Structure 1
Amino acid sequence: MPATFPSSSTLTASDAVQDYRRRGWTVAETANGVCLITDERVAAVELTGPLAAEVRRFLRANNLSGPVIEIPGAERREIHLVVGAAKATLAIEALRGAGATVHTDGASIPLPPTRLSNGAAAWDISPTQARWIPPLVAIAAAVNAAAPARHRRLAEVAC
Structure 2
Amino acid sequence: MATTFPSIVPSATSHAVQDYRSLGWNVTETSTGIDLTTDNRIAAVELTGAQAASVRRYLRANNLSGPVIELRGPHRREIHLVVGAAKAALAIEALRAAGATVHTDGATIALPHTNAAITWGVSPAEARWTPPLVALSAAVRATAATTIRPQLRNVAC
Same fold (TM over 0.5): yes
Residue number in structure 1 paired with 2:51? 51
How far is the alpha carbon of 1:153 from its aligned partner?
5.0
- Return the alpha-carbon distance in structure 2 between the equivalents of residues 114 and 90 of structure 1: 36
Structure 2 Cα separation of the partners of residues 41 and 19 of structure 1: 16
1:80 corresponding residue in structure 2: 80
For 1:124, what is the secondary structure of its paired residue?
Answer: strand
Provide the C-alpha distance between the structure 2 equivalents of 1:126 and 1:114, rounded to a whole number of angstroms.
14
SS of equivalent residue, structure 2 residue 19: helix
Query: Aligned equivalents of 2:153 and 2:13: distance in 1?
Result: 48
Counterparts of residues 99-114 of structure 1 (less than 5 Å): 99-113=99-113
Please state if 1:130 is matched with 2:127. Answer: yes
**Distance change in 2, residues 1:150/1:23 (3 Å):** same
Q: 3-state DSSP class of the match of 1:86?
A: helix
How far residue 121 of structure 1 moved from its aligned partner, in angstroms, is 1.0
Displacement, 1:154? 5.4
Alignment partners' CA distance in 1, 2:18 and 2:132: 24
Q: In the alignment, is the contact (CA less than 8 A) between 1:112 and 1:122 conserved in 2?
A: yes
TM-score (norm 2): 0.86
**Which consecutive unaligned segments of at least 5 residues does structure 1 have?**
1-10
Q: Secondary structure at the match of 1:109?
A: strand
Amino acid at match of 1:60: R
- Tell me which amino acid in the other structure corresponds to 1:83: V
How far apart in 2 are the matches of 1:153 and 1:79? 28
Distance change in 2, residues 1:13/1:153 (3 Å) = farther
Equivalent AA in structure 1 for residue 15 of structure 2: D
Q: Aligned partners of 1:37, 1:156: CA distance in 2, in Å?
A: 44
- Residue number in structure 2 paired with 1:92: 92
Moved more, 70-79 or 144-153: 144-153
Percent of aligned pairs sharing the same letter: 65
Deviation at 1:156, TM superposition (A): 7.5
Q: Which runs of 5+ in 2 are unaligned?
A: 1-10
**Letter matched to residue 136 of structure 1:** L
Mapped partners of 1:122, 1:153: distance in 2:
34
Whether the 8 Å CA contact 1:34–1:114 is kept in 2: the answer is no
Aligned length in residues: 146
Q: What letter corresponds to residue 27 of structure 1 in structure 2?
A: V
Q: Does 1:139 align with 2:139?
A: no
The equivalent of 1:67 in structure 2 is 67
Please state if 1:120 is matched with 2:117. yes
Rounded to whole Å, the distance in 1 between the matches of 2:33 and 2:125 is 20
Distance 1:97 1:16, change over 3 A: same
CA RMSD, Structure 1 to Structure 2 (Å): 1.9
Partner of 1:151: 148
User: What SS does the corresponding residue of 2:95 show, helix, strand or coil?
Assistant: helix
Q: CA deviation at 1:152?
A: 3.6
